[in-house]
Amino acid sequence: MSRRALTLLVAGFLVLSLGVMGAVMKVPYVVLSPGPTENTIGEVDKKPVITITGRQTYPTSGRLNLVTVAYQGGPSSQIDLLTALRGWLDPTVAVVPESTIFPETRSQQQVEEENTVEMANSQDYAKAAALTELKIPYGTAVSVVSTEKGKPADGRLRKGDEITAVGGKPVSDVEGISEAVKAVEPGREVTFAITRGQEKLDVTVPTVRGAGGKTVVGMVMQAKYKFPFDVEINVGDVGGPSAGLMFSLGILDKLTPGELTGGKDIAGTGTIDPSGAVGPIGGIAQKMVGARKAGATVFLTPADNCAEAMKAVPDGLRLVKATSLHEAVQALDALRTGKGQVPACSAG
């Protein structure tokens, strides 16, 4: 055999070996790619995304798309090396350490369950924010969704318990309860006033030091709102809190005369709180790609994501900065009428 043929044979064997190794070698990374979009004033599986009963609604047009990020990998289904390499070469996806999405302190199932709870909270916050913007009054409460096995709340608090006060101080939202618990020195006890069925109780729970040194008791909570009419949101298998802004806009569009989009294809992202404040999200680059592929020309961007978004904005997509639901509504009004300023993202 000639030296050239031998060299080619050895090189081919090495390439084949590396290919096989890459296909079977699992790596602790997760690939993030553009996920599906859903029109919040449209339908999913022939059912409206937002259904309002008990209140007058109005026709809508155009699109108010929520955007998502799809992920591949995780502790129970790690990707192979070749998949990771393809991701690193693709500018529309991101390859991140597995621990970024699935912290070592929580299982993949726990993370997915938390995403489901965050989506439920996001929907309620979106309803509350829309009603706040419209100055429609509503009531609030917070209930326990679950407790973490082995943590202090396990066995003391139960699913469905409604928390009304912490340390003797009335509370009405998840953030208020979390902050009240964090204010307690780890190892000390905290007393929750709860309603369990028809019974009102004071339950004292020890605290422990959790991730990042924060005081925790080991429970998952969910806001419960008492709205004056029914708002049902149907988005299928989507988790996380980042669709809050777009849910709020969809609800507002249906509850008010006129068409918020002016027939335009609008997409956006951002968490929402009951006051209407818009918060930052992850995966902004992948979400913009998904929005543009779905036809959007305008992208509502949380102010804290603007600098990152400016570095990766696809051609043909206009970034509009949103710090609040009210500001987003004003921006859409300005886009539709051509009157007023539209807040733009900047790189700084």
Tokens for 243, please give them.
Answer: 């669709």
Q: Which domains does the chain have, with CATH numbers?
A: 30-134+229-337 (3.30.230), 139-226 (2.30.42.10)
Q: Give the closest residue to 303 by CA, choosing from 321, 281, 320, 317.
A: 321
Nearest Cα to Cα of residue 126 among 262, 274, 228, 26 = 274
Q: Tell me what percent of the chain is helix, strand and coil, each rounded to the nearest 5.
A: 35, 30, 35
Q: Average pLDDT, stretch 145-173?
A: 93
Partnered with residue 157 across adjacent β-strands are 154
The pLDDT score that the predictor gives to residue 22 is 47
Determine the average pLDDT of the residues in 48-63. Answer: 96
The pTM for the full model equals: 0.76
324 in active site: no
Average pLDDT of the chain, as a whole number: 88
Q: Are 128 and 271 in contact (CB under 8 A)?
A: no
What pLDDT, in 10s, does the model give residues 197-232?
Answer: 999 999 999 999 988 889 999 999 987 888 999 999
**Active site includes 242?**
yes
Q: What is the pLDDT of residues 296-326, one digit of tens each?
A: 999 999 999 999 999 999 999 999 999 999 9
Out of 33, 122, 146, 242, which one is annotated catalytic? Answer: 242
| pLDDT given for residue 77 in this prediction | 78
| pLDDT, tens digit, 9 for 90 and up, residues 322-344 | 999 999 999 999 999 999 889 99
Would the pLDDT of 18 be above 90? Answer: no
List the catalytic residue out of 146, 287, 321, 324. 287
291 vs 101, which has greater pLDDT?
A: 291
Over range 272-283, report the average pLDDT: 94
Q: Are 343 and 331 in contact (CB under 8 A)?
A: yes
pLDDT of 12: 54
Could you give the 3-state DSSP secondary structure of residue 222? strand
How far is it, in rounded angstroms, from Cα 87 to Cα 100?
16
- pLDDT band of 105, cuts 50, 70, 90: low
